[in-house]
Amino acid sequence: MTEPLYYFIQQLLNGLTVGSTYALIAIGYTMVYGIIGMINFAHGEVYMIGSYIAFIVLAALALLGLDSLALMLIGAFAISMIVTSAYGFSIERVAYRPLRGGNRLIPLISAIGMSIFLQNVVRLAQGSRDIAMPSLITGGWSIGPEEGFHATLSYMQLVIFIVTFITMTALTLFISRSRMGRACRACAEDIKMTNLLGINTNNVIALTFVIGAALAAVAGVLLSLYYGVINPYIGFMAGLKAFTAAVLGGIGSIPGAVLGGLLLGVTEAITAGYFSTEYKDVVAFSLLILILLFRPTGILGRPEVEKV
Amino acid sequence: MNKATKHVSKLFAAMALAGMASYSVAADTIKIAMAGPVTGAVAQYGDMQFIGAKMAIEQINKAGGVNGAQLEGVVYDDACDPKQAVAVANKIVNDGVQFVVGHLCSSSTQPASDIYEDEGILMITAASTSPEITARGYQLVFRTIGLDSLQGPTAGKYIAEQVKPKNIAVVHDKQQYGEGIATAVKQTVEAAGYKVALFEGVTAGDKDFSALIAKLKRQNVDFVYYGGYHPELGLILRQAKEQGLNAKFMGPEGVGNADISAIAGEASEGMLVTLPKAFDEDPKNAHLVEAFKAKKEDPSGPFVFPAYAAVQVIAEGIQKAGSTDTDKVAEAIRSTSFDTPTGTLAFDEKGDLKDFSFVVYQWHANGTKTALGE
């Protein structure tokens, strides 16, 4: 009876692939929330822009006659991360910084406005239709017997795992070891006190947005390579799922965002695989409600300390 | 009149002079609203409908118009979104338009048609195939395309008699159109003695179907019917190929356009699709095909000619009724038949065509198709 096992492995791999990218996007939500207590609803759109830039870069490189896959990928990641970070930085500067310090709801509305704005800008600039590109990374490994059902791990899925792992490790090291990372953690703890200690909190907040956007760009590149299709509306659902992942893991906690993303991805795949694809989202969001009922701060979230 | 309203009225006067002059000669024009998706994931189907309707309007006007009046087409964008379709319908009412060619997506056409029927607006859809649209006893709702209840059995019969698969799965996108047609296919193949191994819905707009494909693979499915549109089926085809699922796929006309080949690439080769007859290949439409090509438009889309026919039916209906009173026009449309590029059209009491046939095509990776028979 190995067939059920391979089936389970296949669904687990499928879930972890989607989950990894949820996690990458979720970090953008969770870091911003951790520091300024605001939900950046335009973050899904930042991911969408990252995907478009990846598409444009790959198409441009292919047009220039570059045929090395590794160079194309590096180019796509580098340019997409840089340009998307610039977007993240500008969004914070234009839409959130002028509103900081007022009512918490105001930046939230501004974020929703920003999201609609970005979606429509891309729609007008790139058209509203699906844009597709051929698979660049094909093939994969079979796990299991030659005959009958066997699980497949495609090279693309492997690339997603590896890139996600490297990115997460780099982020963790940055936050725990570097000077700026320490400043980030200090801001998350008490932003007023950090300011009094002579750290420019405006820079730290801007950095948070830049990091979040860069990670969203990584997810954008990976997912556009994996699915091969993008349109200006992909940011909405991806943002919603990533936001759910962040809340599930405990908003404000980076390991929580990763855990939440993977958990959400696997839950979806298992539901679709063993029950019905129709109930995928129902089960995923029911899980969210259940966890929030019993652990209102999410899986790894800390209870909020009343700041005096 | 205070200062502000004076200002506004001046502005309107300027606008009217600056090109919106059609408002001032309203007596000599009959407006036809063309409602469908200009934006959104299925905008290319909207285009098919618009170019067909526009061509008909242009040619009718060139031939002297309708009872001395010229037709004027106005495009309204519903983005294939039921909420926006209702907003569009209300706007059409406010704009005083009496005739509508549209909408495209069944889920948009249905709520919009409630408003048209109430407000005495005559609507002909050239693309919505859901049977429910004409099943509510409405007097002013017509269509120049076949029904899912016709297309489903055509596909089902072909599967049962020609493909003869061992293990069938039927997947749909949970929308009115997709689920309706998928259900019809399921019933037809079951009636022919086949068992459907899997009947399941996916969410439109989803990008990841790997879990579903693993499931199909495990159940050794060798034939998948998909009720829905091309963005989802394109991704399913692509991911099925990557995961090594060896199955033949089939879909309704909602998947039959070149974009599916752009999305799925090689994986779209050999897919089966039911489409209305290729009217652009009919020799008696050669002059019309030339006219489209002269405008650099593609006449091969499944809704181009039905949309052309819809405008023609409205125009000849008005001519026959001798007025633009929609009740009289509807009566005229029901009581006669029309010689259009899609054949001789006659409507039944419900507003459906008395005769319409779908044909099974084999799709190719380069976006072309070959007919396999009815």
pLDDT tens digit sequence for A117-173: 999 999 889 887 788 888 888 888 887 777 777 888 889 999 999 999 999 999 999
| Range in A220-224, B203-207, B237-241 with the lowest mean pLDDT | B203-207
In chain B, the percentage of residues whose pLDDT exceeds 90 is 64
d(C-alpha A266, C-alpha A287), whole Å = 12
Q: Quick check: B26 pLDDT over 50?
A: no
Domain that holds residue A127: 13-140+153-233
CA distance A238 to A297: 22
Q: Name the interface residues of A facing B (CB cutoff 8 Å).
A: 3, 7, 10-11, 14-15, 17-18, 123, 128-130, 132, 134-135, 138, 140, 149, 151-152, 154, 156, 223, 227-229, 231, 233-234, 237, 268-273, 276-278, 280-281
Q: What is the DSSP string of B200-249?
A: EE--TT----HHHHHHHHHTT--EEEEES-HHHHHHHHHHHHHHT---EE
Is the same domain home to B309 and B272? no
The verdict on a CB contact (< 8 Å) between B211 and A135 is: no
Does A65 reside within a domain?
Answer: yes
The pTM is what?
0.81
Q: Please tell me the predicted confidence (pLDDT) of residue A284.
A: 85
| Residue B110 falls inside a structural domain | yes
Which residue of B lies nearest to A270 if distances are taken between CA atoms? B211
B347 assigned to some structural domain: no
* Same domain for B223 and B363: yes
At A70 the pLDDT is 87
Contact B200 A278 (CB under 8 A): yes
Report the relative pairing of strands B248-251 and B70-77 from DSSP bridges: unpaired
Q: Is residue B283 part of a domain?
A: no
Encode burial over B278-313: b for 16+ CB neighbours within 10 A, e otherwise.
bbbeeeebeebbeebeeeebbbbbbbbbbbbbbbbb
Per-residue pLDDT for B22 more than 50?
Answer: no
Instruction: Tell which wins on pLDDT, B4 or B136.
Output: B136
Tell me, yes or no, whether B364 and B217 share the same domain.
yes
Q: Is residue B271 domain-resident?
A: yes
In chain B, residues with a C-beta closer than 8 Å to the C-beta of A138 are 242
Per-residue pLDDT at A118? 94
Same domain, yes or no: B8 and B139: yes
For chain A, give me the number of helices (H) and strands (E)? 11, 4
The span from the CA of B328 to the CA of B220, in Å, is: 57
Report the gap between the CA of B354 and the closest CA in chain A (Å): 35
Give the best residue of A18, A47, A129, A147 to mutate against chain B (max B CB count within 10 A).
A129
Q: Determine, for residues A128 and B41 on separate chains, whether the beta-carbon distance falls below 8 Å.
A: yes
A184 contacts A208 by C-beta, under 8 angstroms: yes
Q: Residue B253 maps to which CATH number?
A: 3.40.50.2300
Residue B17 has pLDDT above 60, yes or no: no
Which chain B residues contact residue A132 at CB under 8 A?
234, 259, 262-263, 265
Which band of pLDDT confidence, cut at 50, 70 and 90, is reported for residue B2?
low
For residues B179 and B246, state if they share a domain: yes
Least confident of A36-40, A129-133, A151-155, B3-7: B3-7
**Number of neighbours of residue B162 by Cβ within 10 angstroms:** 11
Closest chain A residue to B245 measured between Cα atoms? Answer: A149
The alpha carbon of residue B317 is apart from the nearest alpha carbon of chain A, in Å, by 36
Nearest Cα residue in chain A from B263: A132
Q: Are A259 and A265 in contact (CB under 8 A)?
A: no
CB-CB neighbours of B15 under 10 Å: 12
Distance CA A299, CA B70 (A): 67
Q: For position B371, what pLDDT does the model report? A: 86
- Looking at the structure, do residues B137 and B219 belong to the same domain, yes or no? no
Contacts of B210 in chain A (CB under 8 A): 14, 17-18, 269
* CB-nearest partner of B201 from A17, A227, A277: A277
Instruction: Give domain status of residue A293, yes or no.
Output: no
As for how many domains chain A has, the answer is 1
For residue B242, give its domain range. Answer: 149-278+359-373
Nearest CA in chain A to B231: A130
ipTM computed for the complex: 0.86
pLDDT in the model for residue A144: 76
Q: Does residue B309 lie in a domain region? A: yes
Contact across the interface for A15 and B211, Cβ inside 8 Å: yes
Verify whether the Cβ–Cβ distance B218 to A134 is below 8 Å: no
Q: Is B158 within the bounds of a domain? A: yes
Flag whether pLDDT at B18 surpasses 50. no
- Which of A128, A132, A152 is facing B243, going by the closest CB pair? A152
Residue B180 and residue B266 share a domain: yes
Contacting residues of B for A156, CB less than 8 Å apart: 242
Q: Which residue in B205, B214, B235 is closest to A227 by CB distance? A: B235
Choose among A199, A170, A169, A197: nearest CA to A184: A199
In a domain, B215, yes or no: yes
Contacts of A280 in chain B (CB under 8 A): 203, 211
Lowest mean pLDDT among A52-66, A191-205, B19-33, B47-61: B19-33
Q: Is A236 exposed, middle or buried (0-12, 13-18, 19+ CB in 10 A)?
A: middle
Is the CB of B263 less than 8 angstroms away from the CB of A228?
Answer: yes
Average pLDDT over residues B217-239: 92
- In 3-state terms chain A splits into helix, strand, coil percentages (rounded to 5) of 75, 5, 20
Query: Which among B43, B174, B234 has CB closest to A229?
Result: B234
Is residue A252, in this structure, part of any structural domain at all? no
Cβ pairs bridging A and B (under 8 Å): 99
Please tell me the distance from the alpha carbon of residue A212 to that of residue A222, in angstroms, as a whole number: 15
Q: Which distant-in-sequence residues (6+ apart) come within 8 Å of A5 by Cβ?
A: none
Q: Does the residue B163 lie in any domain?
A: yes
Judged by CB atoms closer than 8 Å, whether chains meet at A281 and B203 is answered as yes
pLDDT number for residue B3: 53
Cα B308 from Cα B342, distance rounded (Å): 9
Give me the residues paired with residue B74 across strands: B33
Same domain, B34 and B98: yes
How far is residue A261's CA from residue A259's CA, in Å, rounded to a whole number? 5
Q: Is A298 left (phi over 0), alpha (psi -120 to 50) or beta?
A: left
- Summarised one tens digit per residue, pLDDT across range B36-72 is 999 877 888 899 999 999 999 999 999 999 988 999 9
Number of domains observed in the structure of chain B: 2
Query: A223 in a domain, yes or no?
Result: yes
Question: Which helix (H) or strand (E) element contains residue B61?
Answer: helix B43-62
Question: Rounded CA gap, B241 and B235, in Å?
Answer: 10
Identify whether A191 is part of a domain.
yes
CA distance A181 to A201: 12
B57 and B157 housed in the same domain:
no
Q: Search chain B and give the residue with CA nearest A130.
A: B41
Instruction: Answer whether residue A304 is part of any domain.
Output: no
With CB atoms and an 8 Å threshold, state whether B265 touches A7.
no
Question: Which candidate in B78, B81, B217, B218 is best for mutational testing of the A interface (most A CBs within 10 A)?
Answer: B218
Phi-psi region of A295 (alpha: psi -120 to 50; beta: other; left: phi over 0): beta
| Cross-chain Cβ contact A138/B242 below 8 Å | yes
Taking CB atoms and an 8 Å cutoff, what residues of chain A touch B202? 277-278
Rounded to whole angstroms, the Cα distance separating B374 from B299 reads: 21
Q: Is A132–B215 a contact, with Cβ atoms under 8 angstroms apart?
A: no
Smallest CA–CA separation between A287 and chain B, in Å?
19
pLDDT score of A182 more than 50: yes
Among B41, B249, B259, B264, residue whose Cα is nearest residue A227 = B264
Q: How many helices (H) and strands (E) does chain B have?
A: 12, 14
Residue for token pair 């259900």: B183
Residue B157 shares a structural domain with residue B129: no
Write out chain A residues lying below 8 Å of B262, CB-based.
130, 132
Top-confidence residue, B18 or B120 = B120
Q: Domain for residue A257, yes or no?
A: no
Nearest-by-Cβ selection for B214 from A14, A234, A278 = A14
| pLDDT digits 0-9 by tens, B75-91 | 999 999 999 999 999 99
Q: Is B71 helix (H, G, I), strand (E, B) or coil?
A: strand
> Cα B91 from chain centroid?
21
Task: Judge if B70 and B155 occupy the same domain.
Answer: no
List the single residue in B40, B218, B239 with the smallest CB-CB distance to A128: B40
Whether residue B125 is found in the same domain as residue B271: no
- The reported pLDDT for the residue numbered A285 is 86
